[in-house]
Structures are given as structure tokens and as C-alpha cells.
Amino acid sequence: MWLWILAAIVLIALFALVDREIYFYEGTHLSPRIQAWLYDRWAKRYDIGKGESQKQDAEFLAKPLLSALKGAPAPMILDVATGTGRLPFALTREADFSGSVIAVDISTGMLSKAAEKLEDSKEAVSLLQYETFPLPFPDQSFDAVACLEALEVMPEMDTPLAECQRLLRPGGILLTSRGTEASGRRAKVVDAREFTRRLNNAGFIDVEITPWWRVFDRVFARKPGGLVPASIKPLSDILTCSNCGQVGMLAQPLSFECKNCGKTLSVSDSGVVQYS
């Protein structure tokens, strides 16, 4: 009898642990491959629960970001953890957007959905599947870096913030989000004052935290300095080879090839570059 009770308690505890890791923390405490697999499974229905918030993406994300980047009329933008590409989609729908977006995510499934949404914007958006930090780009490559709805489920916040700071040009803009107390991830919620402190410690100034939608605040911050805009470059020109560390690859229809060592990256039929 007691063995059955003990077994039931263990099963309930395991179920609660799995539920917490998958649905609250979205697999970020598990291996990158398991996390990518989970997101691949969610990709087809991922946008359904975010439909109401995405209706405001032009007003709350695209227009304010472009306004903050008024000194860079054709900005280079990096979107970390792009998911199904909500930010690139919103930006490329703006009539005055003439920049370029590199959108990175751990999940090929999510990026495939992004490719469907961005079919009409292939010239402006590049999609890259990549699993971990640091990201394969040189220092100060981007006028703006975005990381939305992601920091609160990462194992810790300092590494991605430091990486965003590294990749931004002086005077560049960070667009991110703060998970609120209503998010259900109370153990990971960072209050606005502490969030600002961490951004300051990472080297950001002019932090602005604004209510966005129920479970997230929108956050803008800036890297110190005067912005000298990056010139627009294709993904192949700023991608760092995982084998030799050389910057710049030769773009082929279904592959990228390192100009230095010949390392090859595959490109899916939908245009997603698979980095390994």
C-alpha cells in the first residue's frame, strides 16, 4: 500500500517538474536540442495565443524602434530569439523601413513559420538557426538588437545582455522585454528597478520600461556613444565561420561556404541557414 502511495507521489512530482520546465520555462533548463525540439512542436500554433498582442506590433514595436533609430535611415537590426518573426514582420510592413534584419532562433520549425510570414520580404530579412551564445557575428555589427519574450526563460540574464551589448554599435538601441508578475514565472520575474540595474551593469543607459501587454513590459535601452550607422550587409558577409573564425562566407543557393577554410552551412528550401 505504502509503495503505491510513494509511487503516486513520485509520479505527481515528476509531472509537476516536467510541466514547470516545459510550459513555464520553455525547456531552457534542458539541452539546446531538447529546447529546439519543443519549439519545433509549438511552431504551428505558436502565434495563436499571441494574436491580440501582435495586432499592436506596429504601434508598440516597429514604429517606436524606427523612431529611436532615426539617425540610421537604413538600419542593420538583429532579432535574437525571433520565434515566428513577429518583429521582422512588423518592421517590413512599415512603409519607411529600408533596413535589413537578421533573425536568429534555436528552432528550425519557428524559423520555417517565419519564412512563410516573410515570403514577401526575403530581400530584407535573413533567417539563421543557431543554438547558443556567443552569436557568430563581429563586435558592433548592428544598429539595433532585439530580444523579445526570451530573457525571462533563459537560465540567466547577464550573458544575453552582454552579448547584445557586444553586437551593438555605440549609440545603438536595445529592444527587449521584461516578464511581468502576471506571467506565471514568478521565480524568474525581475522587478523594474532590478531590471534597470542589470541593464546598466551590462553597459546600457537611457532605460525605458513601458507596459506592453499583460505578461510583458517593453524595454528600450541604448549603448553609450554617438551612432555611426552600420552599412547594410548580407548575412553571408558578417557571419563568422564556426571552424576557423573567419568573417565572411560565400552564399550559394542551398549553402554558405567559408571563403577561408571551406566549411559549409546548409540552407533549407525556405531559406533558413543552419549554423553548426
CATH number, domain of 122, equals 3.40.50.150
Residue 242 lies in a domain: yes
Mean pLDDT score, 95-117:
95
| pLDDT digits 0-9 by tens, 184-232 | 766 678 999 999 999 999 999 999 999 998 889 999 999 999 999 999 9
For residues 241 and 216, membership in a common domain is answered with: no
- Mean per-residue pLDDT over the chain, rounded: 86
Q: Are residues 148 and 188 in the same domain?
A: yes
Closest CA to 18 of 3, 5, 8, 30: 30
pLDDT digits (tens, 9 = 90+) for 1-46: 555 444 334 333 333 333 344 444 454 555 566 767 777 788 788 7
Let me know if residue 35 belongs to a domain.
no
Residue 61, domain member (yes or no)? yes
Q: Record the pTM.
A: 0.88
State which residues form the domain around 106.
Answer: 49-222
Number of domains forming the structure of the chain: 2
For 198, the grid coordinates are 542589470
The reply to whether 126 falls in a domain is: yes
Say if residue 155 is in the same domain as residue 255: no
* DSSP 8-state class, residue 153: G
Distance CA 122, CA 101 (A): 10
How is residue 150 annotated by DSSP? -
Task: Examine the domain organization and report whether 102 and 150 are in the same domain.
Answer: yes
> Is residue 4 assigned to a domain?
no
Q: Does 175 share its domain with 247?
A: no
| Amino acid in position 225 | G
Q: Is 132 part of a structural domain of the chain?
A: yes
Residue range 58-96, pLDDT digits in tens: 999 999 999 999 999 999 999 999 999 999 999 999 999
Residues 134, 57, single domain; the answer is yes
Q: Which own/partner contact pairs does 241-248 have at CB distance under 8 Å and 24+ positions apart?
A: 241/136, 242/136, 242/275, 242/276, 247/138
